[in-house]
Structure 1
Amino acid sequence: MPRSRSRRRWALIASLAAGGLVVGGVLVGLPAEAPVRSAPVPAPGPQARAALAAGAPAALPDLTVLIGEQEAYLRAHPKDARSWALLGTAYVEQGRRTAEAALYPKAESALRRSLKSTPKRNPDALDGLAALANARRDFRAAKGYAEAALKERPKHWRTYPLLIEALTGLGDHKGAGRALDRLTELHSGPAVRARAAAVYRDRGWREDAQAALADAAAAAGAPAERAAYLQGAGELAWERGDLQDALRHFRAAARTDPDLRAAQAGQARVLAALGRSSEALSAYRVALTRQPEPQYALELGELYESLGLRDAARVEYDLLRALVRQHAAGGVDGNLTLGRFEADHGDPATAVRLLRAEWRRQPGIEVADALGWALHRAGADKEALRFAAIATDKAHGGGVRSAPYAYHRGMIERALKQYGPARRHLQEALRINPYFSVVHAPAARAALRALGEPSEDGPPER
């Protein structure tokens, strides 16, 4: 059972912490009087190759070297299918790390070139195409490529994380659980533990997710890999409203890998919640400049808006729209982020149109929540509640404990005059994370004050 595994993990982590490792929320240095002889550091190209082979994040400088080496090699050996697959996969990872969507067509071209050279028994190219489709948020295509790769190489563990990501995006949480079971039968490295953490988080098993990420960080072999898992632990801490633990993990991740902009954006989010607005603005600007993600522009715009700087907020919102268009040119589906933006800051009817199409394509929990909120903002509260329930009811797969999801459902129920459930879900949102949004957390508190306390006499008779 996952919870018994959690207890065993924490016992292991406690013993490792005594020796001075990065585990859980505790960052401890090795004692100075016991120097450790480290093995020679591999060259950047081989190090990036090893990371990709292990399903782990690769450092940006190492990726740049590897890509240069592969491009040079393929000019002399243009029919080497495995090298084309490696180059395509490296482009995907570089695009994911930098948010440069223009790299994705290059990745697709290299991976198609690999398949053209070796049409059959080429699971490496299929894995690369699955990773590319996940990066583009085309989860149906990713599922197809991953399943095709497994037909050719059924026991290759590296394909299963790609399949799990695709199934989660499609809302198939039972399928993702079965794939995770098969993955853990085949392999048990840090990348597997990190993927397990994501599944546990979606099921609402916070302690198991935290323990799995602590295991992954302790066992990570390279700084970029360790930083990614620390950043994931920071996200878990943020989601449960533990600001100091979140900030500690995000800072550790950024120190370990200065190119990890997600850790800088995480710091900005926490700093904003702590009221350190100037530091938060600076951190957001750095993250957005180096990794132009539309989500970062949305968060920065909302921070400006919460500070009363509406003109500055509009600049970020215009940037968000421009970034979504740029990413779409690289094949990235940005309708989820754009729909969320339009629901709150633009045209709710446009948000409904975008998110209905997204729901038809890939009915994941994130899309259900966003569509429900857009319908509410457009005035269709009865239909909105149906999607909010999908996002929050365990019976529908919505096991994740999410403050924004609970808040959205509570506000929809309030609009429908279902005051008891509304009060319960708004309280739940603020209990999960009192700081979940610089815009919506204050709105949740105001709505609760307006609802008042429940009557001691119970509901009035009809």
Structure 2
Amino acid sequence: MKTERVSRAVLLAGAGAVLAGAVALFATDGLVGPGRDGPRPAPGAAGQAVRAAGAGARASLPELHALIGDREKWLRAHPRDEASWAVLGAAYVERGTREGDPAAFPRAERALRRSLAVYPAAKGNADAQLGLGALANARGDFAAARRWGEAVRERSPRRWEAYAVLVDAYRGLGDHVSAGRAADRLGALRPGATALSRAAQVYRDRGWREDASATAAEAVARADTPAERAACLQRLGDLAWERGEPAEAAARHAAALDLVPRHGPALAGRARALAALGRTEEAVRGYRAALEAQPLPEYALEAGELLQALGRRDEAREQYARLRELAEEEAAHGVNASLVPARFEADHADPEAAVTWLRAEWRRGHRSVEVADALGWALYRAGRAREALPFARRATERGLRSALFSYHRGMIERELGMAGAARRRLSEALRVHPEFSPLFAPRAREALAALGEPPLRAPRGR
């Protein structure tokens, strides 16, 4: 199961942070443009969404839907209220990410650009720019997200939401130094769960596992709403999973689901952990629930690989077909959907296609360890192990400790006849997480067994 990526849950937090900032200004009459006289949303669920977002927290999905309906109704009669257009656009981004609905993203872009048309960026419309930054992150266009975030930071260096956008953008680009600086600034300007969650991810990228877990746990304690707390618990579960602790991961995800039963990342995370614990039928059902709540290609890939490992090949093929459909739908709505399909193609279909897609990502400046690992593995699967090795080294030497990345590098080194290095990497993969994948962990054990014990060296002088 390929879980080492820039998490959708983290990108969702970026959309939520931008919505919180836009709503906070909207709700406190702190506007400086033509829409400053627009009313607050109606009481009830929409008002609850405003109160949650105004506190920097995440609203529930019903509250988010109510806020969207409220702003849509208002804007039909008041089309020049740029603040409401910005709120609506940011809410579309968050809803689209949380529900796995890429069709929401073009609507978000139209709303945000409508806000800029009424009140341009040059005059100070930071909310719409930040919304476009969150949208770019959600679409996987990290270079564009960086441009939007940096533009707001330059003009308004105390807008904390800009740093939330920038942390996610820099991480997607593989610039962890800048991500750390942005996370520090975010924490100074807006202490709380949003900043702590990002700091945890930055620590995780650097390989600081204890710091990441402690900071993520503090984020859980600082969460202000059930939706926010569920997201923080889910992130804590993901960190436990990466440490090779599936029982703890399952417990964290279950706690998140007690708060938000249809939380897609927690459903998928719990399924992942249950598979590692040998509770495979529960895991299969868990993936089905995750795909129903949030239909993402990565969940279909994980479900397919679990089913393939169980020998249920027809069901696995159905999941792989669904992966392709979901990726095509994402691409049709402007989402950069290359990483997960490339991982699928490398392992299950056309490695050369994966190489082509991933080289394009690399040229675009998307040089995270996730892309480096995927490109190295695709090159190996395409029969070009020597070209693959520099990318595998980059993925495993940049801080993040990933069993999957170590497995990939070990297999590449084995192909190149580097038996000692391969033995070390494969052993490391299984030490970090003995059940990192139902499909590939057994292959790692087989490869390690085939390498055998290291040869005994004769003492010097004999």
Q: 2:285 aligns with which of 257, 267, 282?
A: 282
- One-letter code of the match for 2:319? E
Displacement after TM superposition at 1:151 (Å): 2.1
Return the alpha-carbon distance in structure 2 between the equivalents of residues 441 and 178 of structure 1: 36
Q: 1:299 aligns with which of 299, 302, 306?
A: 302
Segments of structure 1 that go 5 or more residues without pairing to the other structure are 1-41
Task: Say if 2:389 and 2:413, in contact at 8 Å, map to a contact too.
Answer: yes
Displacement after TM superposition at 1:321 (Å): 0.6
Corresponding residue number in structure 2 for 1:211? 214
Query: Cα deviation per residue 1:205-264 (whole Å; 9 max; x = unaligned)?
Result: 111111111111111110000000000000000111111110100000011111311101
Corresponding residue number in structure 2 for 1:101? 102
Segments of structure 2 that go 5 or more residues without pairing to the other structure are 1-42
Task: Say if 1:60 and 1:259, in contact at 8 Å, map to a contact too.
Answer: no
3-state DSSP of counterpart to 2:160? coil
Return the alpha-carbon distance in structure 2 between the equivalents of residues 137 and 457 of structure 1: 50
Return the alpha-carbon distance in structure 2 between the equivalents of residues 90 and 423 of structure 1: 49
Task: Say if 1:403 and 1:436, in contact at 8 Å, map to a contact too.
Answer: yes
Displacement after TM superposition at 1:459 (Å): 12
TM-score of the two chains, using structure 2 as the length reference: 0.88
Displacement after TM superposition at 1:185 (Å): 2.4
Task: Say if 2:93 and 2:104, in contact at 8 Å, map to a contact too.
Answer: yes
Corresponding residue number in structure 2 for 1:433? 433
Corresponding residue number in structure 2 for 1:66? 67
1:400 aligns with 2:404: no
Return the alpha-carbon distance in structure 2 between the equivalents of residues 256 and 276 of structure 1: 23
Return the alpha-carbon distance in structure 2 between the equivalents of residues 273 and 302 of structure 1: 13
Deviates more, 1:368-377 or 1:167-176: 167-176
1:453 aligns with 2:453: yes
Change (3 A) 1:458 1:109: farther
Corresponding residue number in structure 2 for 1:26? none
Task: Say if 1:54 and 1:158, in contact at 8 Å, map to a contact too.
Answer: no
Deviates more, 1:52-61 or 1:139-148: 52-61
Return the alpha-carbon distance in structure 1 between the equivalents of residues 148 and 278 of structure 2: 45
Corresponding residue number in structure 1 for 2:324? 321
Return the alpha-carbon distance in structure 2 between the equivalents of residues 444 and 459 of structure 1: 32
Corresponding residue number in structure 1 for 2:115? 114
Task: Say if 1:413 and 1:422, in contact at 8 Å, map to a contact too.
Answer: yes
Corresponding residue number in structure 2 for 1:126? 129
Task: Say if 1:372 and 1:387, in contact at 8 Å, map to a contact too.
Answer: yes
Return the alpha-carbon distance in structure 1 between the equivalents of residues 56 and 347 of structure 2: 37
- One-letter code of the match for 1:435? E
- One-letter code of the match for 1:419? A
Displacement after TM superposition at 1:51 (Å): 4.0
Corresponding residue number in structure 2 for 1:176? 179
- One-letter code of the match for 1:165? D
Return the alpha-carbon distance in structure 1 between the equivalents of residues 57 and 459 of structure 2: 55
3-state DSSP of counterpart to 1:109? helix
Corresponding residue number in structure 2 for 1:421? 421
3-state DSSP of counterpart to 1:221? coil
Task: Say if 1:342 and 1:350, in contact at 8 Å, map to a contact too.
Answer: yes
Corresponding residue number in structure 2 for 1:141? 144
Query: Cα deviation per residue 1:69-127 (whole Å; 9 max; x = unaligned)?
Result: 11111112111111100000000000010110000000000000000000020111111
Corresponding residue number in structure 2 for 1:152? 155
Percent same amino acid at aligned positions? 56
TM-score of the two chains, using structure 1 as the length reference: 0.88
Return the alpha-carbon distance in structure 1 between the equivalents of residues 389 and 75 of structure 2: 54
Between Structure 1 and Structure 2, how many residues are aligned? 415
Within-5 A mapping of 1:142-291 = 142-291=145-294
Displacement after TM superposition at 1:44 (Å): 2.3
Deviates more, 1:355-364 or 1:52-61: 52-61
Task: Say if 2:90 and 2:131, in contact at 8 Å, map to a contact too.
Answer: yes
Corresponding residue number in structure 1 for 2:380? 376
Task: Say if 1:54 and 1:191, in contact at 8 Å, map to a contact too.
Answer: no
Displacement after TM superposition at 1:157 (Å): 1.1
Task: Say if 1:123 and 1:150, in contact at 8 Å, map to a contact too.
Answer: no
3-state DSSP of counterpart to 1:456? coil
